[in-house]
A and B are shown apart, each in its own frame.
Chain A
Amino acid sequence: MTDATASHTPQPGQGGETAKSSLFTVSPRTRRRNASERRFKAYGVTAILLGLLFLCFLVYSILSKGLPAFTRTVAEVELTLTQAQIDEAESTLLKTGAYRDLMIAELGKVLGDVEPDAIQRIVGNPGAMLRNFYTANPDAIGDTVAFELPTASRVDGYFKGRITREGQANSTFLTPADLDLADRMQEEGIIKREFNWQFLTGAEASDDNPVAAGIGVSVVGSLYMMFVVLALSLPIGVAASIYLEEFAPKNRFTDLIEVNISNLAAVPSIVFGILGLAFFIQFAGLPRSAPLVGGLVLTLMTLPTIIISTRASLRAVPPSIRDAALGVGASKMQSVFHHVLPLALPGILTGTIIGLAQALGETAPLLLIGMVGFVALRYPDTIASGFLDSNSAMPAQIYTWAARADQIFYEKAWGGIIVLLVFLLTMNIIAVILRRRFERRW
């Protein structure tokens, strides 16, 4: 500054003004500083906007692709089957096919002059559902029963816009003429769209009847696993953290343990899957595909998360509280359990729930221990047997659906993601509420 002014030829009347700067003129240095601050703010806003943009895109695509899974297209038909018809159907080789033909014949009567094969292409293969109903309710034989049976997945897709008339021009599975028939059936009120409870409560279904597939059983599988994870990882994790943080001597061995816990949190989950397969199934002989084993594997994965967050929240309790407790003659254990732990509780709970949420969305280790989507075929018989019965979990079920051929599974995969996200959101909200409720100031 001074050098610069010195090199100038001092002009009369200005010498004093250059030496004394005014508060109203911004110096170049300040301007540069302000500019760089503005730039930094702009970077931050850009990053956040980009993030929001992707979030919006994600939410939009999930909702637009997943919401159709919550409705389904059904065909209404009233059937009056006699004992003789049932007996005849039961005596054929393809029993479900015989039931389906009975329904097609009934629809044919309602619709008039229509090819049975065309009706079949529209209603799909509901024979098994009819047969199951009559097996379960033999009293209904001879009575008129109104059925609402899901249509073939392509018809469902047609009404949801997944399948277009042009796309079906050369299809033998569903011809344009069939689509005209479907439109007519919709006009006559035979085909309707309704909320798909079966998606929420149902089990995995085979390729013969893809419309019936639901996520309910794997939700139950996930809940069983979460129960195992919570019951094991919370007490073990909290006890380990308390010991390490409050009681363990500081030496090379505990340092080693600490480093290893931090490293375990970063181990890929599929490694835990292999470990679970080798130890729990091959060595310990626990059943494959069981939520108990899945829970054990996820416990291994969740423990480091819980231990790290618990230790952090224990460390955040001011030492003056420990001093106060020791000062009135409390033992180490009393000071920890009466004073330190209650203060650390919100942090511990938050860490636990986040660990659980992480475990809830974990797929890879489950595939290795056989909890694939195909096994989620029925609800456990009793509450206790749910731990050992073959089952899947939500993310594994979604993964299985995403890989299957029929397009309706694609829709179901997105729908499953919505269900999974609802669970995760609920858990996170619970974490926030718990933290608010238990948070205390000192």
Chain B
Amino acid sequence: MYDEPALESKVTNKDIKIAARNVQVFYGDTHAIKDVNVEIQDKTVTAFIGPSGCGKSTFLRCLNRMNDTIDICRVEGDILLDSEDIYDKRVDPVQLRAKVGMVFQKPNPFPKSIYDNVAYGPRIHGLAKNKSDLDEIVEKSLRRGAIWDEVKDRLHAPGTGLSGGQQQRLCIARAVATEPEVLLMDEPCSALDPIATGQVEELIDELRDSYSVVIVTHSMQQAARVSQKTAFFHLGNLVEYGETSQIFTNPVDSRTESYITGRIG
């Protein structure tokens, strides 16, 4: 990519990483996502905001086919990752999820050691040839997750013994260990205190150098702080999508304005 010194909130002409076209999602008879078209850029943080139940998490989970595990969920339309339809019959969702990593709302480390938490992905995907390779990947990922210094002396302690913020950063380290191209984050800070939130936000900003990050958040301040692009969802519709600065300062749609000023939500 062009390593131009972009302004904090200025979006440049980067590649399109994910393109969604006319995406519809149904839970049984409920039409949860209605006709969403969006283009998510590479090496950018894109925030999905909107009131509860507006479909932003549902749409996020479509991007790595986590909705496949829900029997009654049906997805229509095209979602292209690097111009390849991820809902094509030939696509194995397991391979897709290796490319599109995910961090969940609640920190969910495996009840194993910190080392094993991070090493699990590389192990099942065969990313390391030997033990020292794996050690290197684990260290690199934990450094990326900005948690290496805190855990380097106790890599074999259980991951569940860490504090909430540390657990979430461990989960981020686990997600980046498989070398994904896109990182999906579903309200990653909702279970964290302000200090841990600050650490994770800082981390998200750093991750932008290597990945396309999509983050769902309930906090508009967070969206404003970490994202370059923002999408506002309301009742299953994508109401407005644009540069974060524009969405927050000069929204086009009246619903967006009502939401960010606190009148609906």
Q: List residues of chain A with CB under 8 Å of any chain B CB.
A: 249-250, 318, 320-331, 334, 338-339, 343, 440-442
With known contacts A334-B124, A441-B160, A326–B97 Cβ distance under 8 A: yes
Interface Cβ pair total, 8 Å cutoff: 67
Known: A249-B71, A320-B104. A329 touches B111 (CB 8 A): no
> Quick one: given A324-B171, A338-B120, A442-B160, are A330 and B94 in contact (CB under 8 Å)?
yes
* Bound Cα distance A250, B101 (Å): 28
Chain B residues close to A by CB (< 8 Å): 64, 66, 69, 71, 94-95, 97-98, 101-104, 106, 108-111, 120-121, 124-125, 160, 171, 174-175, 177-178
In the complex, the chain A residue whose C-beta lies closest to that of B93 is A326
With contacts A321-B108, A325-B120, A334-B124 known, what are 10 further pairs, Cβ within 8 A?
A: A321-B110, A323-B66, A326-B69, A327-B64, A327-B103, A328-B175, A329-B94, A329-B98, A343-B111, A441-B160
| Contacting residues, chain B, for A323 (C-beta < 8 A) | 66, 102, 104, 108
Task: Give the distance in Å from the alpha carbon of A82 to the alpha carbon of B71 in the complex.
Answer: 87
Q: Are A329 and B69 in contact, with the CB atoms below 8 A?
A: no
By the criterion CB–CB under 8 Å, are A331 and B104 in contact?
no
Chain B residues near A329 (CB-CB < 8 A): 94-95, 97-98, 101, 121, 124-125, 178
Chain B residues with Cβ below 8 Å from A249 are 71
Residues A320 and B66 in contact, CB atoms below 8 Å apart: no
Closest to B180 in A: A329
Interface pair B104/A327, CB less than 8 Å apart: yes
Contact A324:B111 (CB < 8 A) given known A329-B95, A329-B124, A331-B94: no
A327→B101 contact, CB < 8 A: yes
Q: Given A320-B106, A343-B111, check contact A328 B174 (CB 8 Å).
A: yes
Using Cβ atoms and an 8 Å threshold, which residues of chain A touch B174?
A: 324, 328
Q: Is the interface of B mostly helix, strand, loop or mixed?
A: helix
Given A326-B97, A329-B95, are A320 and B111 neighbors across the interface (CB < 8 Å)?
no
Give the chain B neighbours of A334 by CB distance below 8 A.
124
Residue of B nearest to A323 (CB): B104
> CB distance A440 to B108 under 8 Å?
no
Cα of A53 to Cα of B104 in the assembled complex, Å? 53
Closest to B104 in A: A323
Taking a contact as CB atoms under 8 Å apart, the answer to whether A327 and B97 are in contact is yes
In the complex where A329-B125, A440-B111 touch, is A324 in contact with B104 (Cβ < 8 A)? Answer: yes
Given the known inter-chain contacts A329-B121, A329-B125, A441-B160, please indicate yes or no for A324 contacting B110, CB distance below 8 A: yes
| Contact of B66 (CB < 8 Å), options: A318, A321, A327, A331 | A327
A-B pairs with beta carbons under 8 Å apart, 9 shown: A318-B108, A329-B94, A329-B95, A329-B97, A331-B94, A338-B120, A343-B111, A440-B111, A441-B160
Closest to B65 in A: A326
Instruction: Please tell me if the beta carbons of B102 and A327 are within 8 angstroms of each other in the complex.
Output: yes
Residues of A within 8 A of B160 (CB): 441-442
| CB-CB nearest 8 A-B residue pairs | A329-B98, A320-B108, A327-B102, A328-B121, A329-B97, A324-B108, A440-B111, A331-B94
Cα distance A330–B174 in the bound complex, in angstroms: 12
Tell me whether A442 and B175 are in contact (CB under 8 A).
no
In the complex formed, the residue of A with least CB distance to B158 is: A440
Distance to closest chain A CB from B160 (angstroms): 6
Q: How far, in whole Å, are A280 and B52 apart by their CA atoms in the complex?
A: 60
B108 touches A328 (CB 8 A): no
Give the docked Cα–Cα distance between A280 and B45 (Å): 66
Closest chain A residue, CB of each to CB of B108? A320
Question: In the complex, what residues of B have CB within 8 A of residue A325's CB?
Answer: 110, 120
Instruction: Judge whether A327 and B124 touch: CB under 8 Å.
Output: no
Contact present for A326 and B66 (CB under 8 Å): yes
Q: Is the CB of A328 within 8 A of B178?
A: yes
Residues B111 and A442 in contact, CB atoms below 8 Å apart: yes
Shortest Cβ gap from A52 to chain B (Å): 38
Nearest B residue to A331 via CB reads B94
Residues of A contacting B98 in the complex (Cβ-Cβ under 8 angstroms): 328-329
